[in-house]
Amino acid sequence: MLTHETIWLAIDRLAQSCGYSTSGLAKKAGLDPTAFNRSKRTGPDGKPRWPSTESVARILDATGAQMVDFVALISDEKGSAVAKPKIPVIGYAQAGKEGYFDDAGYPTGEGWDHIHFPYPEQGNVKYYALEVAGDSMMPLFRSGDRLIVSPDAAIRRGDRVVVKTSAGEVMAKELLRQTAGKIELRSLNPDHENRSFETREISWIARIIWVSQ
């Protein structure tokens, strides 16, 4: 059921899944940073205030999410029977080793731990979770967080991505620029430098679409 509370909850969940605060999501979508603040969710008369369809459309465009994803976030609040597939969980130490991924960036082999993914299954799109270790992605992602990524998802400038280099280094960054011959990445931790690679130095790149904290 669509209610004032479930719509706002879906916006909160979409922001969290993409690694943003609600104000950060609003800003990325080109909206006023206070557009989704809790103080804006009720009017001066105390009556519930609904988000506009335009603001919802703009945050979906900004995050690359589809309306079906947003509806799933609404439905899940009531515990409805949204299909929640199990996906493999890979540790950072495993991700850097040979033989754990195929050429497209998918986990290979058997015996992985699994978690339930909060999005419903969508055709043949594949996902997996990468468990953060260490503090190189602080303060956005902490050790123990699980980054749910999809090599199938389209990637645009400003997206947060997981990258594996041909040297076996695995990192989570923000995509600054991608050309036919070069990839430029922004570090999530201000204490770490931005990185730049030739395309031939990259084994695979996958978009972060959800964060399980």
**pLDDT, tens only, 21-50:** 888 889 889 999 899 998 888 888 888 888
Q: Are residues 125 and 195 in the same domain?
A: yes
Domain span at residue 54 reads 4-76
Question: Whole-model pTM?
Answer: 0.56
Q: Specify the CATH number for the domain of residue 68.
A: 1.10.260.40
| pLDDT reading at 175 higher than 60 | yes
Res 1: pLDDT: 61
- pLDDT grade for 77, boundaries at 50, 70 and 90: very low
Last residue in a domain, options 76, 102, 129:
76
| Domain assignment of residue 81, yes or no | no
How many alpha carbons lie under 13 Å from residue 174 in its C-beta half-sphere? 18
Res 78: pLDDT: 44
Q: Are residues 62 and 121 in the same domain?
A: no
Q: Are residues 93 and 12 in the same domain?
A: no
Res 83: pLDDT: 47
